Amino acid sequence: MPLLAEKKSVQIRPVSSPQDFSEFIELPFRLYRNDPFWVPPLRAEAKEILSSKNPFWEHAEKALFLSFRNGRLTGRIAAITNRLHENIHQEACGFFGFFECENDPESAEGLLSQAQDWLQRKGKKLMRGPLNPSINDECGLLVEGFDSSPYILMTYNPPTYASLLEGYGLKKAKDLYAHTLPCHDPLPERISRLVARLQKNKEISIRPLNMRRFKKDLQIVQDIYNDAWEKNWGHIPMTQNEIQYMATKLKPILVPQAIRFAEINGKPVGFTLMLPDVNQTLKHLDGNLGILGTIKFLYYFRRINQLRLLALGVKPEYRNKGIEALLYHDARETSQKLGWINSELSWTLEDNEAINAGIQAMGGRHYKTYRIYEKQLN
């Protein structure tokens, strides 16, 4: 494996063999071995997201790097380019992700420097991250709320990572909020009155996902998602292949009743996507899903008692008509019927005042913050 960079006793090397890739995947299992809040990912899933099976790489490229101190593996990073982002946002922005590192500033500096060099050779003027590997996947560095495990598809890291990134010169680009909301708390009276009025409107209806027309409903999700999130900071529309891939990966854990569509006169105008917090199950599997792992998965899956409200979107032309409140109310009622006791609403942009205020009005509480950093490249 060729040496790319060396500073004192730290060496940065590219991932160039199956053994290197295995070390890249295995590193978090060592770093977080004694952390009670870390949720080990399935090794097969961790490998696949970085493989050609993931359609994200149809419009993106990556380079993976490892850091060593005196022969000991200390960290990892991915440098990423995304042509779709560049075309939409018209900025020469590259990304880093999958960052893990011992509390070793020299190793972190070496990794980030190597990612920066690779991106600069690709003509990038800005480095942003962490994105694993895009804003439609796990993203952001946890900077507040280290006292509990992450929900499904949310990141986790020790408090030391912020100082490692900031020590390299990375600055905050945007904060992402996660909100906690007990499923059985009563709605505020003002919201209850609004919902009661909307429920009298026979033109508005809410229905669950129809598994018999799964592909059609999936297309509705894609259309509303790409429309409703179009103007969000950093948003990248998901391609048809990415939507299909995501649906295939999530289908085994989907609860049809927890995916809801708001319709006006039969026309879909909004949706909510709630997922059972499978992290409650993954904590018991140590990254493996063999025969024993499958038995454990089925056992603990039936005991999941919390959910992540991953998305709630309404087409722009139907906003500010109470549809959002109706969907929130419906989501709460649905979660209660399904036996869930707590929920996380995540993530929201720090400056999306309307959404954040709406969640607070529903009784939600901001309890975790994830930060996306960036650095201008010379």
Burial of residue 171, with CB atoms counted within 10 A of its CB: 0-12 exposed, 13-18 middle, 19 or more buried: exposed
Chain centre to alpha carbon of residue 241: 18
How many Cα atoms are found within 13 Å in the side-chain-facing hemisphere of 21?
12
Burial of residue 237, with CB atoms counted within 10 A of its CB: 0-12 exposed, 13-18 middle, 19 or more buried: middle
Q: Where on the phi/psi map is residue 125: left (φ > 0), alpha (ψ -120 to 50), or beta?
A: alpha
Query: Hunting for tokens 């922005």 — which residue is that?
Result: 93
Query: Hunting for tokens 């994830």 — which residue is that?
Result: 370
CA distance 50 to 62: 9
| DSSP per-residue letters across 129-142 | E-EESSTTSEE-EE
**Buried b or exposed e, range 197-215, using 16+ CB within 10 angstroms:** eeeeeeebebeebeeeeee
Determine the pLDDT at residue 321. Answer: 86
pLDDT tens digits in sequence order for the chain, 378 residues long: 445 555 568 999 999 999 999 999 999 999 999 999 999 999 999 999 999 999 999 999 999 999 999 999 999 999 999 999 999 999 999 999 999 999 999 999 999 999 999 999 999 999 999 999 999 999 999 999 999 999 999 999 999 999 999 999 999 999 999 999 999 988 888 888 888 888 888 899 999 999 999 999 999 999 999 999 988 999 999 999 999 999 999 999 999 999 999 999 999 999 999 999 999 999 999 999 999 999 999 999 999 999 999 999 999 999 988 899 899 999 999 999 999 999 999 999 999 998 999 899 889 999 999 999 999 997
Contact 133, 62 (CB under 8 A): yes
CA distance 129 to 141: 8
User: Of 260, 299, 306, which is closest to residue 279 (Cα–Cα)?
Assistant: 306
CA distance 301 to 363: 27
pTM over 0.85: yes
Determine the pLDDT at residue 27. Answer: 99
Q: Where in the chain is the domain with CATH 3.40.630.30?
A: 5-177, 180-368
Computed from CA positions of residues 323, 326, 328, 331, in that sequence, does the dihedral angle turn out positive or negative?
negative
Pairing of strands 126-129, 365-376: antiparallel
CA distance 352 to 316: 14
Question: How is residue 345 written in tokens?
Answer: 């609403």
Question: How is residue 350 written in tokens?
Answer: 């720090």
Alpha helices in the chain (DSSP H): 18-31, 43-48, 83-89, 105-121, 160-167, 189-199, 214-228, 240-250, 279-282, 291-301, 323-337, 353-361
Contact 274, 259 (CB under 8 A): yes
Contact 323, 204 (CB under 8 A): yes
Contact 217, 207 (CB under 8 A): no
Contact 369, 175 (CB under 8 A): yes
CATH of 180-368, one of 3.40.50.880, 3.40.50.920, 3.40.630.30, 3.30.420.40: 3.40.630.30
Determine the pLDDT at residue 221. Answer: 94
Assign a CATH topology to domain 5-177: Aminopeptidase (3.40.630)
368's CB contacts (< 8 A; 6+ apart) are 142, 144, 145, 154, 177, 178, 346
The three-point CA angle 338-287-298 to 5° equals: 35
DSSP letter assigned to residue 40: P
